[in-house]
Structure 1
Amino acid sequence: MNEHTKSSKFLFMAKSKVLVVGGTGYIGKRLAAASLAAGHPTYILLRREIGLDMDKLQILFELKRRGAHLIEGSFSDHQSLVDAVKQVDVVISAMSGVHFRSHNLMMQLKLVDAIKEAGNVKRFLPSEFGSDPARMLHSLEPGRVTFDEKMTVRKAIEEAQIPYTYISANCFAGYFVGNLSQMETLLPPKDKLFIYGDGNAKVVFMDEDDVAKYTIKTIDDPRAANKTVYLRPPENILSQRELVGIWERLTGKPLEKITISEEDFLARLEGAPYAVQVGIGHFYHIFYEGCLTNFEVGDDEEASKLYPEVDYIRMDDYLKRYL
C-alpha cells in the first residue's frame, strides 16, 4: 500500500469531531452516547452555569468515563464558545426545556454567532427534535411561540451561511407512548382513557435512543446537508387507536374509551395555566390535524430510507417495559 493510498484510507475512515451543547438534557445525553457509540470524537460543553446541579454533573462524568471530552464554555463568554467550536467539525445543540422560550432562543443565537465567527463547522444541528417548525406557522397561541423562535434560529443559521441539518423527530415515546398519549400522566391508564376525535390521525412515535442514532447518522452524510430530515420509520406511524390496541393486546385487558370532540378539547384552553395551554395546542395539531403525517417529505429526506440498516424500536416492544 503506497503512502497516497494510506492517506486516502485514513481520510475516508476519519470521523467528524462532534460538540454536543446540552449534553446533560433528555435528548442531549442520548446524542452524546450515540456519537460515542458511532466512534466520533465527542465533546460536551461544560457550562459553569451548571452550579450545584449534581445530577447533571454525574451525567457529564459518566459520559467522560465513556470517552467524551468536556470543554468549558459559557453563554456569557462569547470567546469561550468560539474556542470550543473551533475544536470540532460538527455542533449539535440539544439545550433542554420543553418549550424553547426567550432564554433558550438567546442562547441558540449566541451559539450561531460563535459558529459563524469560528468559521470551521461543517454541519450544525440546532435544538429542534420535534415537529417541523416550518410546517407549524399556523399553530395555536400560545404554543406557536415555540415554532416561531425555532424559525428565528433557522433564519440566523441560513443568513450566516452555516451548513445545517434540521431533525424532525416527531413524538418522543417517553411522553406519548407509555401513557397512550394521555396528557396528565407518563404511565399507562388502568381502566379508561381519552381518545382525541376519532383517534385515527396518524402519528409518528420515536424511541429516544433511535432519535439519537438517526441524528448522528446525518452529520457526515452529504444527502442531509442543508435539509430537514424527518424521522418517520414506517412501522412507528400509528394512530392513537392503533397504539391503544397494541397495549390492549399486550395486557389482555380492554380499556374504556372516552372520545373528545375537537370543540370540547379546544374548550380546555380557557383558563388553563400557560404550560397546559401550550400542551393542548400541540396535542390538537398532532391528534386532530395529523400535522406529523399530513404532508409529503418532498425535496427533504426521510431517515429510515436514508439508513435502512437502523433496526429501530417498534412501539409494541417499547410498551413491554410498562408491563
Structure 2
Amino acid sequence: MHRRSFLKNTGTFSLAVGLAPYLSHLDFFNDTEDAKAPFFKLSLAQWSLHKAILESKTLDPFDFPKKARQLGFDAVEYVSQLYTIDNANATAGINNLVKVLNARSSDNGIKNVLIMIDNEGELAALKKSARDEAIAKHSRWVDAASGLGCHAIRVNLFGTGAENDFAIWKETSADGLGRLAHYAAKSNINVIVENHGGLSSDGGKLTEVIKAINLKNCGTLPDFGNFCVKREGGERWGTPCLEEYDKYKGVRELMPFAHGVSAKTFDFDAAGNETTIDYVKMLKIVKDAGYKGRIGIEYEGNRLSEEDGIKATKALLLKAAAQLK
C-alpha cells in the first residue's frame, strides 16, 4: 500500500500521525562519527523492497544501491533470489551480477555487506549427494560475495527429512554447513545462518550446530522476528505459526556467534513501536553481547508502504538505542 492510500484510510490515520515525529527526523543518522550515533551501524536488507522488485516491478534490483542511498543508507544486504540467474550458465551470470552491482554500489557510495542466499539447495539435506549439490551452488555465491567486497553470505539450514530428528539434522547440518564454511574461509567470507524456520529457529539447537562446526567464519545472523519452529500443515512458510521459540531467549543464544543482526518489523503502533517485538529489550541483548557491527533493516509489513516501513524501522532502532544510553 502506497503512503497516499495509507493516509486516506481513516482506520490507520492515527498511526500515520503517531509515526510522524519519527519519520520526520530520519536523516540525522548518516553512519558518521556523530555524537548521537548508536552502538551499531545500519544497513538496508533488499527484502524490504521485494514487493517493488517482484510485484509492482517499480524497482530494478540492480538499482537497489541507488535506492538505498536515496533512503539515507550507506550499506546494503542483497538477496540472491531477487536476481535472475540462468542455471545453464550460472557462473557467468553471477560474475556479470558482481560486475554490475560493484559499479552501481561504487557510483552511489554504498558498501556491500552480505548476500542472503535462498533456493540454492538444502545444506542439511538427508542425502549427501543433495548436500554436495547445495554446497556447489552456495559456493558460487561465496565467490560473488568475495567479488563484491562483502564479509558474509547468509544461508538457511533446511533439510527435508533430516529435520524430523534433531540428532540427524545436527549431523547433516554440521556436514553441509561445515564444508561450505571451509570453502568460504579461503576467501575470508563468513557463512552465517539465520533463524529462518523449523529447527533453525530453535536458538539452542542452532547454536549446538555452530559449536559442533567450531569455525571462526561459521556463525549466525539473529533475526528479531523469525522464531516460528512449527507451522500449520507442516509448511515452511505462509501458514499460521503453531509453536514459537522465545525470541528474546533465541537472540540471546545466537548473539555470541553473530556476524550480523537483522531488525525485522511487521507493524507499528501510534507511538512508532513494533507491535510484536520490544525493541529496547532486544537491542539491550544485542548491546550486552558486545556487538558493534551492522544491523540490517528488514521491513515485512503490509500496512505501511515499503519505504515508509523502512523509515519507521530506522526511527524505531534509533529511538530504542537512545534509551539504552
Q: TM-score, normalised by structure 2?
A: 0.37
Structure number with the bigger relative contact order (C-alpha 8 A, sep ≥ 6) is: 2
Bigger helix share? 2
Structure having the higher Rg: 1
Q: TM-score of the superposition, structure 1-length normalised?
A: 0.37
